[in-house]
A and B are shown apart, each in its own frame.
Chain A
Amino acid sequence: MTTKTEQFLTRLAEVPDIPSQVFPATVRAIRRQRTFSRMVGAAAALFLIAAGITSYYQLPHLMNRTAVSDEVSTELQTASDYLNGNDIEYNMSRAVLVDLSDF
């Protein structure tokens, strides 16, 4: 005699057919995924190329071509001395000389 549980398990096995659109949809999804992966790969490659070009133009031998002139360099040195206090000793010695000459 078949029990209700057995009947239930028999009915459990009865499922509808797989919808026919599943495989084509699966293939479409795989292609979309592939396209996306390739786009990400291409974007990453472009980024690396751009970074490579940028770093090439920042190399030291190329920076020499745009080195500052002597005049600007002197001004920059003066400003640096002032900011670091290197010019104080020189200015004080000059002030002492001026004081002595007054007497």
Chain B
Amino acid sequence: MQEIDRITVAQARKGDLKAFRRIYDYYSPFAWKVIFRTVNRDANSAAEALQETFVRFHGALRKFRGDSALSTWIYRIAYNAAITHAERHRRYTIGHVDLETAEAALFTMPADAGGAKDQVRRILDSLSPDDRFILVAREIDGMTFEEIASATGKNEGALRTQLHRIKERLKKGFGDDYQN
């Protein structure tokens, strides 16, 4: 993705709150999608993770030397915050959906919008938070494997294999002949 201008970043580093707001407005929508789907709970839980992402980002902004893209950097922080929140929720959630046992019922996409939303959430629940992050980062936010590797600390080959495995599970679940 196209990065925000360096002047804004420099101003934010000096503590300019308006510049920080511009960075937030620019990067939060794409961070929000991946956080919302990785946390896979209500908007408030995802909002907490998004807030944590930008608080951490602000705290670490002085250390940013521009070696990597700002988007990748924010993504890395968002990944950690989202995984932490998702794990925290999973620890206290009783009746976690198991793909292997509830597959047939889960992958029937209902026609109504409300039911579809719930179904998407339940299908995502059958994936690990890490799988959810990779799926959304690649398929929805359109990040490259190199960018995802930088954010997650994994190598590109492992990520390709992981995404292939996720798609195979979805394909199997939906009964589709899904192609990469």
Interface residues of A (CB under 8 A from B): 3-5, 7-9, 11-16, 18-19, 21-23, 25-27, 29-30, 33
A-chain residues with CB within 8 Å of residue B24 when the two chains form the complex: 23, 26
Nearest Cβ in chain A — how far from B143, in angstroms?
Answer: 14
**B151 at the A/B interface (Cβ < 8 Å)?**
no
* 19 new A-B contacts at CB < 8 Å, known A25-B47, A26-B24, A30-B55: A4-B109, A4-B176, A5-B170, A8-B123, A9-B140, A12-B136, A12-B140, A13-B33, A15-B33, A16-B43, A18-B29, A18-B32, A18-B47, A18-B50, A19-B47, A22-B50, A23-B54, A26-B51, A26-B55
CB atoms of B140 and A13 under 8 A apart = yes
CB atoms of A16 and B36 under 8 A apart = yes
A-chain residues with CB within 8 Å of residue B44 when the two chains form the complex: 19
Q: Is the interface of A mostly helix, strand, loop or mixed?
A: helix
Q: Mark B25-38, 1 if CB is under 8 A from A, else 0.
A: 00011001100110
Given A15-B33, A16-B36, A16-B43: A8 and B174 within 8 A (CB)?
A: yes
CA distance A70 to B175 in the complex (A): 103
CA distance A103 to B128 in the complex (A): 107
CB atoms of A3 and B174 under 8 A apart = yes
Nearest Cβ in chain B — how far from A38, in angstroms?
Answer: 13
Nearest CB in chain B to that of A11: its residue? B120
CA distance A53 to B85 in the complex (A): 47
- Sampled A-B contacts (7; CB under 8 Å): A5-B170, A5-B178, A8-B123, A11-B116, A23-B28, A25-B47, A26-B55
CA distance A82 to B116 in the complex (A): 95
CB atoms of B29 and A5 under 8 A apart = no
Nearest Cβ in chain B — how far from A81, in angstroms?
Answer: 65
Name which of A18, A29, A33 has the most chain B CB atoms within 10 A of its CB: A18
Q: Mark B48-79, 1 if CB is under 8 A from A, else 0.
A: 00110011001100000000000000000000
